[in-house]
Amino acid sequence: MGNRITVPAALCALLFLMVAMPHVGLLGQYGITFLCSMGIFIILSASLNLVNGYMGEFSCGHAGFMAVGAYTSSVVGVFLFVPDQVFGQPWLPMALTPFAFPVILAAGFIAAALAGLVVAIPSFKTRGDYLAVITLAASYIIKSAIENVEAVGGPRGFAGMGKIVQGMDAVVSIPWMMVWIFLGVTFTIWILRRFVYSTYGKGVMAIHQDEVAAEIMSVNTNKMKLIAFMLSSGLAGLAGGLYAYLISFVNPGSFTILRSTECLVMVYLGGMGSLTGSVLSAIVFAILLEFLKPLEQLKWVAIPLLLILLMQFRPEGIMGNRELSDVFPKLKRFYRFK
């Protein structure tokens, strides 16, 4: 019993510490934004690892699912709480924003999961490079569609989410986005961990080993692909919603192939099929981006170069397919979910 409450207690203590630090001057706005960006990277890296790592497919259109979640969460939030020229007067008072925000994020999750469903269906007959082309094409279709919808600003982008964050601050003055992103990261790790070690997760890993053999052993590979794609894309949509409210503005230029490349770099840097690796690689990648920020666009020369060196000298990534509990066996008692 003691072991089971250790992880939740540690997470609650960490959340309390994160909320308290800005109030005592130990964490400024720059630090909050940096930690929030790191959290969003963790969600993106872990969600893509489900498809590319655990299932062994190659998806490279994660930015498209992120865009669906970002725009859906933004539109739902503005529609409910912010007066807008297109959507008219708000339906709910601003005082309800802290309670409605999970619903706003859930809308982005569901919309992105449905987009993943549309992509998953043609993937039934494809593998490897063909799936990469499908996901890449889907990402471009989503971006082009958003650019041509004037109701959400077209190529100019969509704003208004900052007023919702300010509304939450007016109710209780805490770093709300850091809290929501922390909860989003915790939810992502929890649900992926539960999924991977469930019956469905074992079916997904069977597809990775040999799809034909998995079908012979009565694994419904189409159903497994469908669930994995929807969960992965839904979590990318959750990351998109959090990203939109973090920067209070979204435009199609934020969801280009560069965003998908960031996700791929993190997955391969951390290790295929390792949640611990996804978390570590997201942290390393966030720190690396800060160090390379003075290089501006040249950082996109340095980061792919790092990936090439990684493939040459450690192709399995930082963790390979191992988890933290595999490196430190005594920690296994903290990861009991059944």
Q: Quote the pLDDT of residue 128.
A: 62
Range of weakest confidence among 113-122, 287-296, 320-329? 320-329
Model confidence pLDDT, tens digit, residues 56-75:
888 888 999 999 999 999 99
Q: Which two tokens mark 294?
A: 């003075």
Report pLDDT digits (tens) over 304-337: 777 788 778 888 888 877 787 777 777 766 655 4
**pLDDT of 294:** 80
Give the confidence band of 50 by pLDDT, cuts at 50, 70, 90: very high
> What is the pLDDT averaged over residues 95-114?
94
Give the pLDDT band of residue 10 (cuts 50, 70, 90): confident
Query: So what's the pLDDT on residue 102?
Result: 95
Helix/strand/coil (H, E, C) string of the chain? Answer: CHHHHHHHHHHHHHHHHHHHHHHCCCCCHHHHHHHHHHHHHHHHHHHHHHHHHHCCCCCCCHHHHHHHHHHHHHHHHHHHHCCECCCECCCCCHHHHHHHHHHHHHHHHHHHHHHHHHHHHHHHHCCCHHHHHHHHHHHHHHHHHHHCCHHHCHHHCEECHHHHHHHHHHHCCCCHHHHHHHHHHHHHHHHHHHHHCCHHHHHHHHHHHCHHHHHHCCCCHHHHHHHHHHHHHHHHHHHHHHHHHHHCEECHHHHCHHHHHHHHHHHHHHCCCCHHHHHHHHHHHHHHHHHHHHHHHHHHHHHHHHHHHHHHHCCCCCCCCCCHHHHCHHHHHHHCCC
Q: Round the average pLDDT of the chain to a whole number and report it.
A: 87
Split at pLDDT 50, 70, 90, the class of 191 is: very high
Range in 143-157, 230-244, 323-337 with the lowest mean pLDDT: 323-337
Whole-number pLDDT of residue 336: 53
pLDDT at 69: 96
Q: How far apart are CA 34 and CA 119, in angstroms?
A: 32
pTM: 0.92
Confidence label for 127 from pLDDT (cuts 50, 70 and 90) = low
Closest C-alpha to 153, from 239, 38, 19, 253: 253
Confidence band of 187 (pLDDT split at 50, 70, 90): very high
Q: What is the pLDDT of residue 130?
A: 80
> What confidence tier does 123 reach under pLDDT thresholds 50, 70, 90?
confident
Which of 86-95, 111-120, 225-234 bottoms out in mean pLDDT, i.e. has the lowest?
86-95
What pLDDT score was predicted for residue 72?
96
For the ranges 95-109, 130-144, 295-309, the maximum mean pLDDT occurs at 95-109
Mean pLDDT value of segment 278-306: 83
- The pLDDT, as a whole number, for residue 183 is 96
Average pLDDT over residues 98-118: 94
CB atoms within 10 A of CB 60: 20
Region 217-237: what's the mean pLDDT? Answer: 89
